[in-house]
Structure 1
């Protein structure tokens, strides 16, 4: 069986570097945007803190528990989907004959089987990373629920603001993990473009990169969030 490096062409290596560079770059830019052009992720931090500020005086607090339950459903769903995808992908990687058959059906039979395995594993890397992020996000939202329950009902209690701030910070961290999980899902789809060759990977990476950037920095929802920003602040 040929080694991995021997079956990777210069185009494959360049496209693979572009894939990971785009993944790391958009992740960093999303979490650390320019101060004069915040991302949706950063804008939502302020609204999450505002949520906890309103939570202190809201009676009853059933509305807040419903919101938190909804937030936990997202990581639960995607974690389950990732487990299914990983199982299917590993079954495919472990069956070289099936990979060769798929290659033949796609009229790409000249590609070595080991390269097909590398391509599938690359996509599974992002899916597995997403799974870990979704699991951690779900657990953090659970921590947030407990901390919200510890906020005193009396707004005058000095612990009310402190614990609400702690709950807000945990909520923000959980949301970041969830967003990173979604970003991994996007780039796992981009990695599938490698199945048709290095140019396919380059194109799908550019598409996912543009899509992710637009949703964080040029979406209509971002414009709506900016309208009331001066009135929103951290606890």
Structure 2
């Protein structure tokens, strides 16, 4: 089926709902990473704590605690990457045989929707999950870079390489955390994209709810108030 034929299968509301999903996904990431002045996001606030962490790490004689924290962060990225990879397999398997899905959703959507339309909707979910997987894998690798740079920080605080290397480790840590956060956002919006199987109205509602959840956790959550104290 050609692209024009596929577009004819989609209602204008479908295209508008999909556009809202894409714009919201890209827009919320932009707002979180570049928040308005005077209202920093949790991501931005935690970046300063990560820099402070590396400064304190450089001054510590024993750094076992720091290595344990970094190991825990890497394990989190590995867990999410593995989970998302399994989810991608499940979505692709369903896209290869959407007949069960067609029967399940027959009472919720218009009858007679061709299988290719279900496959397109599932493809959007799979693409978002794939983006999440790539983010988690890259975050894991950058945390690994951070670990190597941390290990290269001299034990003597007076060493001229001590602070510069600690700050490099901090920036790598921040970058890894940023990619991990983007991966989580992709997972959130993949779940929202699954609502498209019900219809464009469900996709719009799921996108709005997901955007509000992501925004509130970064700008109006209890952890943010605790960090700002």
Normalised by the length of structure 1, the TM-score is: 0.93
SS of aligned partner of 2:38: coil
| Correspondences of 1:26-105 after superposition (within 5 Å) | 26-104=28-106
Query: Which is worse superposed, 84-93 or 148-157?
Result: 84-93
SS of aligned partner of 2:161: helix
CA distance in 2, matches of 1:60, 1:32: 35
Of 209, 212, 226, the match for 2:211: 209
Of 153, 156, 171, the match for 2:155: 153
Query: Which is worse superposed, 167-176 or 104-113?
Result: 104-113
Stretches of structure 2 lacking an aligned partner (at least 5 in a row)? none
Of 132, 135, 151, the match for 2:134: 132
- Aligned-pair distance for 1:42? 0.5
Give the 3 Å change call, closer, same or farther, for CA 79–105 of structure 1 in structure 2: farther
Deviations 1:182-216 (CA, angstroms, capped at 9, x unpaired):
00000001101111100000000000000000000
- Aligned-pair distance for 1:32? 0.4
Normalised by the length of structure 2, the TM-score is: 0.95
- Asked whether the 8 Å contact 1:30–1:39 carries over to 2, the reply is yes
Of 180, 195, 198, the match for 1:196: 198
Stretches of structure 1 lacking an aligned partner (at least 5 in a row)? 228-235
CA distance in 1, matches of 2:36, 2:9: 41
Give the 3 Å change call, closer, same or farther, for CA 107–37 of structure 1 in structure 2: closer
